Structure 1
Amino acid sequence: MGNDALKANGNTVDGYTADISITVRGSDAYWAIFAFMAFMTLLFIAHSYTKPRTERVFHYITISITIVASVAYFAMASNLGWASILVEFFRADNKVAGTTREIFYVRYIDWVITTPLLLLDILLTAGMPWPTVLFTLLLDEVMIITGLVGALVKSSYKWGFFTFGCVAFLIIVWNVAWVGRRHANALGSDVSKVYLITSVWTLGLWFLYPIAWGLSEGGNVIAPDSEAAFYGTLDVLAKPIFGILFLGGHKNISAARLGLAIRDYQEVPRAALLHEKGEPVPGARSGVHTGAGAEPAVIGGA
């Protein structure tokens, strides 16, 4: 049975037609990536059972990344989740000739969920303080949302939003490459190694995304099929392949060592242990605190 997604879901939505859109080849590429994302999700789920529930926090985050990406690629393979947007640059090449281009907003819905989770994996590995973690995640949301807004704008003002996103990205790079690395180094050579490998891997790939954006949604230089191959390759490397590197590196690193401890359902939080007089046990703490030298933080059931 052939791929009939484009027959079932054509290039016209609510009366708006995209002149520049994916072909069956682009849809096939998206289907292949969807299948790989889904397969890796199942693999990560199976691998999580090799760890006790209290040590699965990084598995759960990584699984969430590939689950969301699987749904997004299913939508794009089905030629769904897009908007028809007037292009700023008109090209003579038949593959990108036309006045409107298919922009997959579902891709940005994927990124606005998964890229903060990727950063969370990395930053928790370094035991970074929560204020820095939250600030970095906010910058990530700014980066993705400005990219989406820029993609949906037909005029040259799209490059203003592109610039905002690039500035946010550069601050993220600073927090990950400099601030985070110093925190990771304080936790030992094995933690420092996995942090260095996964952060360099992620940031190196993320530097290529603005190029892909400029060639596709931004400049209308490459065809949507080439866009599918470019973004798809980056997403495969940045998500499931990252997951393999990341979880493999965490094999012998406990969450408690990073300042995190997730209690199992039969365990009583230390803060709930009371003296006979009803006073908390000396030194018992509640809440969440991460960072080098921090006591493990009880953050809920597994």
Structure 2
Amino acid sequence: MSVLLQRSNQALKINPPVGDHHLSVAGSDWLWAVCALYLFALLLVVGHSYVARSGEKIFHYLFTISLFVGGVAYFTMASDLGNTPIRASDGDDATRQIFYAKYINWFVGWTPILIAVGLISGVSWATIIYNIGLSWIWIASWLSGALVSTHYKWGFYAFGLFAYFLLVSSIIYTGSITARRLEIKSSYFLLSFWLAFIWMLYAIAYGLDDGGNEISVTSGFIFFGILDVLNVPVIACTVLFLSRKWDYRSLNLYFTQYGRVAQGGEFPAREKGVVEPAAAPAAAPGATV
């Protein structure tokens, strides 16, 4: 028991931080806490997949990927890994610790979120791919800006911000059109506007942290950590909660419940598109066949 009580965070001693402005021990403790939240949410989603409604697990699969990636990323950052020193943009010669693992988390972990939102809204796969591409441009632009020490970084910030506006307009405007037809307008509006609001706060956090270098590395992680929790784990739990009342037939969500091997029973999704063959016309009396 005494060993457990005396246990402390040794991450920054084992993996010494780089740069003049770097992660603190308190910041590492915070990142471990966020990592634990991600992994706890991951276990909840995986456990809930065994009692998924109608056997449809597509949302469980998508959120499992997002939460798993986030857990690995926060483990990496809490261990003071996945970073590089970059000269700060405030004009002095000091260097700042930039964690590229944070952007890898967004690049990979947000993709399943966008697929889930697209499936809920009922938009085409072309629109879903378009939204994913915009998110990749957004994140890649901001990562590029974070690794630039001159004021040219704000050009990358502007590119990413423009991609954000295109993405939000697609999710809110295009997605709401199809969501109305599927009679889940209120649920979709809640999810889409929540994402748009949280993502807007990311723009503020980036401007203060990796962009403008106005706050410390630890303060930036506190800001981004709160946003990440409100983004992926909260969205995952909210979708699984709201989906209890959704009509999967109208949403055309038949990804996992039947499988690839035919089973006995009724398959409404498959039978919906089956057209009975028309009966052959009766031959006229005396006609030659």
Q: The TM-score by the shorter chain falls in which range?
A: 0.7 to 0.9
Q: Does residue 111 in structure 1 map to residue 106 in structure 2?
A: yes
Equivalent position amino acid for 1:122 in 2: V
**Paired residue for 2:196, among 181, 184, 203?**
203
Residue 59 of structure 1, CA deviation: 1.1
Q: Secondary structure at the match of 2:85?
A: strand
Q: Does residue 258 in structure 1 map to residue 251 in structure 2?
A: yes
Q: Identify unmatched segments of 5+ residues in structure 1.
A: 12-16, 92-97, 274-280, 284-302
1:224-269 Cα offsets, whole Å, 9 max, x none, are 110110000000010111111111111132444212312324327x
Alignment length (residue pairs): 263
Match of 1:47 in 2: 48
Alignment partners' CA distance in 1, 2:252 and 2:178? 12
Between 47-56 and 149-158, the greater mean CA deviation after superposition: 47-56
Q: Does residue 162 in structure 1 map to residue 163 in structure 2?
A: no
Residue 115 of structure 1, CA deviation: 1.5
TM-score, L = length of structure 2? 0.86
Equivalent position amino acid for 1:222 in 2: I
**Paired residue for 1:125, among 95, 103, 120?**
120
Q: Secondary structure at the match of 1:84?
A: strand
Residue 198 of structure 1, CA deviation: 1.0
Matches within 5 A, 1:95-106: 99-106=94-101
Which of structures 1 and 2 has the bigger CA Rg? Answer: 2
Match of 1:33 in 2: 34
1:67-126 Cα offsets, whole Å, 9 max, x none, are 1000000000000000111111147xxxxxx61111100011100011222111111101
Residue 53 of structure 1, CA deviation: 7.5
Residue 204 of structure 1, CA deviation: 0.6
Q: Secondary structure at the match of 1:29?
A: helix
* Structure showing the higher helix proportion among its residues: 2
Q: Does residue 182 in structure 1 map to residue 177 in structure 2?
A: yes
Are the equivalent residues in 2 in contact too, given 1:123–1:133 (CA < 8 A)? yes
Are the equivalent residues in 2 in contact too, given 1:86–1:154 (CA < 8 A)? yes
Alignment partners' CA distance in 2, 1:53 and 1:141? 33
Match of 1:278 in 2: none
Residue 216 of structure 1, CA deviation: 0.7
Match of 1:295 in 2: none
Are the equivalent residues in 1 in contact too, given 2:42–2:68 (CA < 8 A)? yes
Q: Does residue 212 in structure 1 map to residue 235 in structure 2?
A: no
Alignment partners' CA distance in 1, 2:193 and 2:239? 12
Q: Does residue 138 in structure 1 map to residue 133 in structure 2?
A: yes
Residue 136 of structure 1, CA deviation: 1.2
Equivalent position amino acid for 2:164 in 1: F
Are the equivalent residues in 1 in contact too, given 2:11–2:28 (CA < 8 A)? yes
Alignment partners' CA distance in 1, 2:235 and 2:80? 27
1:194-224 Cα offsets, whole Å, 9 max, x none, are 2111111111100000111110111110001
Match of 1:239 in 2: 232
Q: CA RMSD in A?
A: 2.2
Q: Secondary structure at the match of 2:86?
A: strand
TM-score, L = length of structure 1? 0.82
Alignment partners' CA distance in 2, 1:46 and 1:53? 15
Between 51-60 and 134-143, the greater mean CA deviation after superposition: 51-60
Identity of matched residues, %: 35
Q: Does residue 9 in structure 1 map to residue 10 in structure 2?
A: no
Q: Secondary structure at the match of 2:245?
A: coil
Residue 52 of structure 1, CA deviation: 5.6
Alignment partners' CA distance in 1, 2:97 and 2:131? 31
Q: Identify unmatched segments of 5+ residues in structure 2.
A: 1-6, 277-289
Are the equivalent residues in 2 in contact too, given 1:54–1:261 (CA < 8 A)? no
Equivalent position amino acid for 2:21 in 1: I
Alignment partners' CA distance in 1, 2:185 and 2:108? 26
Are the equivalent residues in 1 in contact too, given 2:53–2:244 (CA < 8 A)? no
Alignment partners' CA distance in 2, 1:163 and 1:52? 42
